[in-house]
Amino acid sequence: QWQLVESGGGLVQPGGSLRLSCAASGFTLEDYALGWFRQVPGKERERLPCIPANGGSTKYADSVKGRFTISRDNAKNTVYLQMNSLNPEDTAVYYCASFTTPAAGCNDFLRGWYREIWGQGTPVTVSL
């Protein structure tokens, strides 16, 4: 069974850092694009960094460029999202997602062209 599981969320003070993990099971994550997203209730899901399959160039949303970094540990079949300089506007539920086909790329998320796999989400709260 193909599955993604996020972890690492929690409460952090403004200016702090968190590292989120997205562990894959049932498939080799390196062969597929993996994207991070976040969502606040009542708002659309926001695209965050995405790492293409097999070592392609990563993609970053302007809202987090310079603060968030995506990386992949192929031995652990896990992708990470390092988040620095967090502010209250970063409070959201964070999700990772991938595809069931290696042909899909970072720009294909949320278009309905390919079957997607989503984790259950991990909440991040940035507050004093």
pLDDT at 77: 96
pLDDT in tens, 73-115: 999 999 999 999 999 999 999 999 999 999 999 999 999 999 9
Instruction: Report residue 72 as tokens.
Output: 């992949």
User: What strands lie across the sheet with 68-73, from one edge to the other?
Assistant: 3-7, 18-25, 78-83, 68-73
**Burial tier of 95 (Cβ tally within 10 Å: 0-12, 13-18, 19+):** buried
pLDDT in tens, 6-41: 999 999 999 999 999 999 999 999 999 999 999 999
pLDDT score, position 65:
86
pLDDT at position 58 is 74
**Rounded distance between C-alpha atoms, residue 38 and residue 4, angstroms:** 15
pLDDT (tens digit, 9 = 90+) per residue, 39-78? 999 999 999 999 998 766 677 778 888 899 999 999 999 9
Predicted pLDDT of residue 62? 80
What pLDDT is attached to residue 55? 65
